[in-house]
């Protein structure tokens, strides 16, 4: 996919040559000046006339008409040099690759150093490039009839840079791994519910385990019954599809300690159960396993990059259906932890599955926990569709996850968890906990409920109900699943530092 070269040879033919351009009012110079000379001053002229734009993320295509060995030059606007950030350059590359892909071009040559500033060095630019290529060109392989016209995709990217070749290659590789794994998660979420059952998800996890030599454990319904996973089993009661408790283990250290537990909600379709969703609200509920997809995507990155960390991924998976056997409001169930739960809302099922998932992760030695879930509509009311809601019981662990989110550009905002929230969750005349204290602040109550099972283990909760999907295309992807939190989880794991006095 990528070739890295130190010197761009203008005598070599390319389908497309790409350069970054800052502040169009300045005189063209350096590499862009060389292109201007080859094109007999046309770059300067078109810049002055506004036909080539330096506006951030704006892409301008210029046909060279045989005056250059490159058939086309793509100018990628980067705005003011001092304002460039990693996120901006990644989105600019996203705009570029969407344009180039639409033009059916297979080979692209990129003058990397024209994108570099004092704020964003060559390695960051390379990572952004590697990540943006798969993200921006992602399409879901749908089930429509196909034409016989052969597809043309970007298959060869030549990167020219004066910076250390091996380090540029490494940054490209890391970025590409991040982008590809995010796309894997997108595809899992985009799959129809009848093609992504708990069994399908377990089979996918097995394939991932075989590819990356993870230790894999798949608990069947009978196993869960023996272990007392009554919370997950309650959600599954109405379904004809068997539940699965999916476990992937990656050991990057000699001893199994300082283990990070990633727990993903794997509800493959959510009707709401007897607290059934309205007809408009039920469409799209195939995406209710977005947390599981995020964890599996993160594990793909971990498998590719092999960090020196220990990670256990746990995914409680089932659908939530309505039948004569389904669990009901007023039922009481017993979780794996032994805590009993009064069911007030069968549509508050994700937290039940996560309760047993968190407990099982701890049994596998997890000393730090991060759960990820499309958990509540309340988080969308609070934060909108572009910010993930977060909660935590440990400041140091939360700061590490937050830093990873800043690094990857996946915004999150922390919600409070007070003693009053805990009292509301613990309020029941018949059980230790209730699963739905009310609609006021219910995103917080959902997280507080999960905290009851994390107990003293350092824990961070990520509610991606708003960020897991989008209704419109953007620089780094189409409408549909976004792969939210795949990169944040992976970056967190890569840079994780054990916490003293846990």
Query: Which residues are annotated as catalytic?
Result: 277, 351
What does 78-113 look like in DSSP terms, one character per residue?
A: ---GGG--HHHHHHHHHHHHHHHHHTT--EEEEEGG
In sequence order, what are the residues at sequence separation of 6 or more whose Cβ sits closer than 8 angstroms to the Cβ of residue 71? 13, 14, 15, 16, 63, 64
φ, ψ (nearest 5 deg) of residue 68: -140, 155
Query: Any idea which residue has 């993160």 for tokens?
Result: 298
Query: Closest Cα to residue 298, out of 408, 449, 382?
Result: 408
3-state secondary structure of 251: strand
Task: Classify residue 258 as exposed, middle or buried by CB count within 10 Å of its CB (0-12, 13-18, 19+).
Answer: middle
Give the span between the Cα atoms of 176 and 182, in whole angstroms.
10
The two tokens of residue 178 are: 């991040």
Task: Classify residue 178 as exposed, middle or buried by CB count within 10 Å of its CB (0-12, 13-18, 19+).
Answer: buried
Q: How far apart, in Å, are the Cα atoms of 10 and each of 13, 47, 100? A: 8, 22, 20
Give the span between the Cα atoms of 325 and 338, in whole angstroms.
23
Residue 31 C-beta-side C-alpha neighbours within 13 Å: 22
Give the span between the Cα atoms of 301 and 289, in whole angstroms.
19
Query: Closest Cα to residue 356, out of 337, 332, 331, 333?
Result: 337
DSSP class of residue 380 equals H
Give the span between the Cα atoms of 479 and 198, in whole angstroms.
25
In sequence order, what are the residues at sequence separation of 6 or more whose Cβ sits closer than 8 angstroms to the Cβ of residue 165? 4, 5, 6
Q: What angle do CA 334, 335, 338 make, to 5 degrees?
A: 80
Q: What angle do CA 428, 434, 439 make, to 5 degrees?
A: 110
Instruction: Name the maximum alpha-carbon separation found in the chain.
Output: 84
The two tokens of residue 368 are: 């730090």
Q: Which residues pair with 340 in a beta bridge?
A: 334
What does 450-478 look like in DSSP terms, one character per residue?
A: HHHHHTTS-EEEEE-TTTSEESS-BTTB-
């Amino acid at each position: 996919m990528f070739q890295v070269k130190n010197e761009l040879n203008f005598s070599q033919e390319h389908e497309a040559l790409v350069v970054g351009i800052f502040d169009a009012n300045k005189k063209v110079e350096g590499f862009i000046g060389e292109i201007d000379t080859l094109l007999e001053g046309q770059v300067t002229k078109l810049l002055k006339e506004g036909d080539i734009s330096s506006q951030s993320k704006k892409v301008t295509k210029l046909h060279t008409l045989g005056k250059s060995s490159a058939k086309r030059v793509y100018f990628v606007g980067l705005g003011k040099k001092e304002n460039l950030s990693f996120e901006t350059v990644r989105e600019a590359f996203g705009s570029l690759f969407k344009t180039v892909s639409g033009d059916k071009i297979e080979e692209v040559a990129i003058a990397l150093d024209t994108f570099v500033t004092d704020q964003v060095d060559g390695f960051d630019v390379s990572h952004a490039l590697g990540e943006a290529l798969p993200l921006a060109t992602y399409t879901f392989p749908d089930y429509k009839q196909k034409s016989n016209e052969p597809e043309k995709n970007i298959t060869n990217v030549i990167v020219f840079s004066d910076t250390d070749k091996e380090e540029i290659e490494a940054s490209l590789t890391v970025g590409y791994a991040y982008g590809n794994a995010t796309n894997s998660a997108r595809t899992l979420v985009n799959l129809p519910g009848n093609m992504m059952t708990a069994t399908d998800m377990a089979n996918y996890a097995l394939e991932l385990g075989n590819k990356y030599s993870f230790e894999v454990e798949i608990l069947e319904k009978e196993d869960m019954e023996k272990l007392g996973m009554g919370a997950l089993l309650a959600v599954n009661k109405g379904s004809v599809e068997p539940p699965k408790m999916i476990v992937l283990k990656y050991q990057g250290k000699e001893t199994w300690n300082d283990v990070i537990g990633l727990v993903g909600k794997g509800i493959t379709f959510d009707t709401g159960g007897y607290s059934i969703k309205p007809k408009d609200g039920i469409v799209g509920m195939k995406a209710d396993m977005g947390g599981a997809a995020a964890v599996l995507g993160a594990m793909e990155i971990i498998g590719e990059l092999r960090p020196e960390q220990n990670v256990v991924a746990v995914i409680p998976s089932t659908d939530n259906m309505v039948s004569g056997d389904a669990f009901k409001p007023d039922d009481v169930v017993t979780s794996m932890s032994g805590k009993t739960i009064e069911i007030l809302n069968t549509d508050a099922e994700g937290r039940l599955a996560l309760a047993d998932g968190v407990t099982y992760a701890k049994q596998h030695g997890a000393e730090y926990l991060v759960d990820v879930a499309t958990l509540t509509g309340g988080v969308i009311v609070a934060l909108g569709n572009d910010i993930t809601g977060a909660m935590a019981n440990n400041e140091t662990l939360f700061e590490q996850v937050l830093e990873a989110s800043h690094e990857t550009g996946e915004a999150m905002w922390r919600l409070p968890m007070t003693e009053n929230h805990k009292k509301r969750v613990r309020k029941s005349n018949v059980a230790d906990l209730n699963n739905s204290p009310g609609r006021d602040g219910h995103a917080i109550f959902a997280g507080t409920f999960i905290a009851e099972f994390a107990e003293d283990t350092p824990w961070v909760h990520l509610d991606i109900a708003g960020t897991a999907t989008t209704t419109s295309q953007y620089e780094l992807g189409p409408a549909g699943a976004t792969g939210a939190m795949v990169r944040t989880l992976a970056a967190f794991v890569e840079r994780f530092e054990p916490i003293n006095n846990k």
